[in-house]
């Protein structure tokens, strides 16, 4: 499922005019969770995928991807999970299977050759863990950029959460925090700021 907001369409149109060898695929996952006392053998499953493609040369957003994913091991969302993410039971019930979401990510990253970027290691670890558990092939290469770490090193500041980094740069928060697509958009804004101020993304890529 591809969502393009009207505010971003003009940016996307300009961005595709300049092709690059590698794009930055900024991704944020939301997953099932409990505040405390999860069920026995609880396994957290991705329930939303949000992704934004950034051209590192022009710093423009090229495209974005969003979908809800239907959990199957523990299909009922906790009240805490819904309160935290604003994602409803109805939305995940109508979501696509995890394997399909992974395939769509693979297709998207093939259309836009890119490196997987996220704010911290959680998203990379969650995707790998769930791919292993569901016996689904991991959709990306071994390379990954931890943008939280890159931000800390580039500006020589402590590691901070996404909201803290936005405030640090005087950037407004877009949408709802802990929604995959909104968090991906916000992280993309921080990424654009870093690129504009001289950050070389190649210095931050790591293999896992």
201: which DSSP letter?
G
**87, 48 in Cβ contact below 8 A?**
yes
Tell me the pLDDT tens digit for each residue of 21-34: 999 999 999 999 99
| pLDDT in the model for residue 25 | 98
Query: Residue 20: which pLDDT band, with cuts at 50, 70 and 90?
Result: confident
30 among known catalytic residues: yes
| pLDDT in the model for residue 179 | 97
Q: CB burial class (10 A; 0-12, 13-18, 19+) of residue 52?
A: buried
The residue-averaged pLDDT of 116-137 equals 98
| pLDDT in the model for residue 18 | 59
Tell me the pLDDT tens digit for each residue of 30-74: 999 999 999 999 999 999 999 999 999 999 999 999 999 999 999
| pLDDT in the model for residue 10 | 30
Q: What is the pTM of this model?
A: 0.91
**34, 63 in Cβ contact below 8 A?**
no
| β-sheet with 46-54: strand ranges across | 61-68, 46-54, 23-31, 114-118, 143-146, 205-207
Please tell me which residue in 16, 30, 64, 197 is annotated as part of the active site. Answer: 30
CA 32 to chain centre: 16
**What is the C-alpha to C-alpha distance for residues 87 and 30, in angstroms, rounded to an integer?**
9
**What is the C-alpha to C-alpha distance for residues 156 and 18, in angstroms, rounded to an integer?**
31
Please tell me which residue in 104, 144, 178, 197 is annotated as part of the active site. Answer: 178
Tell me the pLDDT tens digit for each residue of 152-170: 999 999 999 999 999 999 9
64 among known catalytic residues: no
């Amino acid at each position: 499922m591809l969502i393009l907001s009207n505010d971003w369409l003009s940016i996307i149109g300009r961005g595709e005019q300049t092709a690059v060898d590698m794009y930055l695929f900024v991704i944020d996952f939301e997953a099932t969770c409990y505040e405390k006392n999860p069920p026995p053998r609880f396994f957290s499953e991705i329930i939303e995928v949000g992704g934004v493609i950034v051209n590192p040369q022009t710093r423009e957003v090229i495209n974005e991807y969003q979908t809800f994913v239907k959990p199957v091991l523990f299909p009922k969302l906790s009240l805490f999970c819904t309160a935290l993410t604003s994602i409803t039971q109805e939305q995940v019930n109508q979501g696509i299977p995890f394997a399909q979401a992974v395939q769509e990510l693979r297709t998207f990253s093939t259309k836009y050759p890119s490196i997987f970027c996220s704010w911290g290691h959680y998203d990379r670890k969650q995707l790998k863990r769930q791919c292993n558990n569901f016996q689904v092939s991991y959709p990306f290469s071994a390379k990954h950029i931890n943008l939280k770490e890159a931000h800390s090193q580039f500006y020589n500041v402590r590691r901070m959460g996404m909201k803290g980094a936005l405030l640090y740069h005087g950037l407004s928060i877009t949408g709802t925090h802990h929604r995959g697509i909104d968090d991906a958009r916000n992280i993309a804004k921080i990424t654009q700021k870093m690129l504009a101020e001289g950050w070389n993304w190649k210095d931050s890529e790591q293999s896992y």
